[in-house]
């Protein structure tokens, strides 16, 4: 039983992240929704870069594109790029304190949103509203908690 | 222990591969729209995820329904009965008017407007993608939903089906920046095009000369010219007409008739020349008199 969970932990956590990403929310809270997929992918990239890196990010981005109804490739490109930066610097980032990490994740989330905005802007005429950047802040604030929960899960299930 | 990149291509080449693939997909899907048939399968593939994500809200709704008090139910019942009486009175008049209209139309030799098939769909999820206004509904190709199908709610036009899956489909709202509806003013039949503004409670009407007879409060109904939306459904109401002579055109804004931010039950229409897909008997809501 535990053996099974151990193998599926990463997949299950990513599935939950995808669900949280599209879960209907009250209109008051909706603009502040953190980028769950980015958070969970980011954690696994830092923890197990040999298992989760650009390939997994690309596939998750594709799923996100289908779920959100954007043109295929937009989220996959943005996620691949951000996860590449994380995977290339994982040793340095691991030594940071959790709040320093949160700051870096925030910067990467900003890059993620800007890349998505630029790509969407090329396809359709959309205007930039500052509200689009709220998730950057919430993603940053959610990182420490995500980090702790996922680390606990990883250690208990001995995922490696 | 495995060190990173001991297997498979290096991280850099992975990024290059992923980027090239993504850009290719963006061009193929976004610009050239080659994936519309594959999208049906992709949407069907992820629909379990959508149903699962919808579950907590659904459970909450169910419990809220189970916890409603008897008094509340009685109040609701009284209100609905009142509404029903008022509406059936209107319906009686409507039936007479419809027959009269039909007779006049046959006298004039113009074609009688036929009843269209319609089914009720339920809202499943609202996308949190801030760049476009789309919703997901719980009907798909199994119920005969097709791309470009008009969608209404009880107040007016909501949008059109953009992508279909087997059990879900995605609806583009009329308030999206990429959407426009051909409309006419109910009062004087002036034809206009109402485009989405990107805000749920705003439509903009572009390229209207200053001299056009248009006033705040005018009702806009679909004109049926684009071959997508059937004629005569309410689209919005004009709120602002700014006739600034220094600009080439008047600035006109309208609010959508449908309450796009609080949709729950929607109506899917099959206009006359629509493709006929498989139909589930019993799902179809028969219009009165048919």
Q: Choosing among B11, B14, B22, which should be mutated to test the A contact, i.e. which has the most A CBs within 10 A?
A: B22
B180 interfaces chain A, CB cutoff of 8 Å: no
d(CA A28, CA B100): 49
B201-260 residues touching A, CB cutoff 8 A? none
Dist. CA B243–CA A22, nearest whole Å: 42
pTM higher than the cut 0.90: no
What number of other Cβ atoms are within 10 A of residue B63's Cβ?
Answer: 9
What are the chain B neighbours of A61 within 8 Å (beta carbons)? 22
Tell me which chain B residue has its CA closest to the CA of residue A119: B26
Could you say which of A23, A27, A71 has the minimum Cβ distance to residue B30?
Answer: A71
Tens of pLDDT along B99-136?
A: 888 888 888 877 666 777 888 998 887 666 777 888 88
Residues 122-161 of B with CB under 8 A from A: 125-132, 134
Enumerate residues 6+ apart whose C-beta is below 8 A from B193: B180, B181, B182, B183, B205, B206, B207
Q: Which residues pair with B136 in a beta bridge?
A: B125, B170
User: Exposed, middle or buried: residue B210 (CB in 10 Å: 0-12, 13-18, 19+)?
Assistant: middle
* DSSP code, position B165: -
pLDDT, tens digit, for every residue of A61-115?
999 998 888 888 999 999 999 999 999 999 999 999 999 999 999 999 999 999 9
Q: Mean per-residue pLDDT for B46-69? A: 84
What confidence tens digit (pLDDT) does each residue in B147-156 have? 899 999 988 9
How many cross-chain Cβ pairs, A to B, lie less than 8 Å apart?
143
> Which pLDDT band holds residue A35 (cuts at 50, 70, 90)?
very high
pLDDT at B84: 93
Which is the CATH superfamily of the domain at B180-256?
Rod shape-determining protein MreC, domain 2 (2.40.10.350)
pLDDT at B285: 44
pLDDT digits (tens, 9 = 90+) for B193-236: 999 988 888 999 989 998 889 999 999 999 888 888 988 899 99
pLDDT interval class at B282 (50, 70, 90): very low
Q: B7 vs chain A: nearest CA distance in angstroms?
A: 9
**Cα-based distances in Å from B101 to B93, B95, B191, B230, B272:** 12, 10, 23, 18, 19
User: Does the structure's ipTM exceed the value 0.85?
Assistant: no
Radius of gyration of chain B (CA): 24
Tell me whether residue B166 is exposed, middle or buried, using C-beta atoms within 10 angstroms of its C-beta: 0 to 12, 13 to 18, 19 or more.
middle
pLDDT at B280 over 50: no
Average pLDDT of the residues of chain B: 84
Name residue, tokens 């996620």.
Answer: A79
What is the structure's pLDDT at B281?
A: 43
- Domain map (residue ranges) of chain A: 2-157
Find residues 99-128 of chain A whose CB sits inside 8 Å of chain B.
Answer: 116-117, 119-120, 123-127
């Amino acid at each position: 039983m535990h053996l099974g969970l151990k193998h599926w932990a990463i997949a299950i956590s990513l599935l939950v992240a995808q669900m949280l990403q599209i879960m209907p929310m009250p209109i008051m809270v909706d603009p502040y929704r953190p980028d769950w997929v980015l958070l969970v992918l980011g954690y696994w990239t830092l923890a197990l870069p040999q298992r989760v890196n650009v390939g997994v990010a690309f596939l998750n981005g594709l799923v996100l594109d289908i779920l959100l109804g954007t043109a295929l490739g937009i989220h996959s490109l943005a996620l691949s790029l951000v996860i590449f930066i994380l995977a290339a610097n994982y040793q340095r980032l691991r030594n940071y304190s959790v709040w320093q990490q949160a700051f870096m994740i925030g910067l990467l989330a900003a890059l993620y949103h800007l890349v998505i905005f630029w790509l969407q802007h090329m396809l359709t005429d959309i205007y930039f509203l500052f509200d689009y950047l709220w998730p950057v802040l919430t993603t940053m604030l959610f990182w420490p908690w995500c980090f702790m929960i996922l680390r606990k899960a990883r250690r208990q299930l001995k995922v490696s | 222990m495995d060190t990173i990149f001991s297997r498979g291509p290096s991280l850099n080449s992975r990024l290059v591969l992923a980027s090239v693939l993504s850009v290719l997909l963006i061009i193929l899907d976004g610009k050239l729209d080659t994936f519309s048939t594959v999208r049906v399968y992709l949407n069907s593939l992820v629909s379990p995820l959508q149903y699962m994500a919808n579950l907590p809200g659904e459970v909450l709704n169910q419990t809220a329904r189970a916890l409603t008090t008897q008094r509340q139910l009685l109040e609701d019942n009284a209100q609905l009965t009142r509404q029903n009486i008022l509406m059936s009175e209107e319906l009686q008049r409507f039936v007479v008017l419809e027959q009269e209209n039909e007779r006049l139309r046959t006298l004039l030799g113009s074609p009688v407007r036929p009843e269209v098939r319609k089914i009720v769909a339920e809202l499943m999820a609202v996308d949190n993608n801030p760049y476009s206004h789309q919703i997901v509904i719980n009907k798909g190709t199994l119920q005969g939903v097709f791309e470009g199908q008009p969608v209404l709610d009880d107040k007016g036009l909501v949008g059109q089906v953009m992508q279909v899956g087997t059990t879900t489909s995605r609806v583009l709202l009329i308030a999206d920046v990429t959407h426009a509806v051909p409309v006419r003013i109910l009062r004087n039949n002036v034809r206009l095009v109402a485009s989405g503004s990107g805000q749920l409670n705003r439509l903009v009407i572009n390229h209207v000369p200053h001299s056009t007879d248009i006033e705040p409060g005018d009702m806009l109904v679909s004109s049926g010219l684009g071959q997508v939306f059937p004629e005569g459904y309410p689209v919005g109401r004009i709120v602002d007409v700014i006739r600034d002579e220094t600009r080439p055109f008047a600035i006109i804004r309208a609010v959508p008739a449908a309450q796009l931010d609080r949709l729950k039950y929607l109506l899917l229409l099959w206009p006359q020349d629509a493709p006929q897909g498989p139909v589930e008997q019993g799902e179809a809501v028969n219009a009165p008199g048919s």
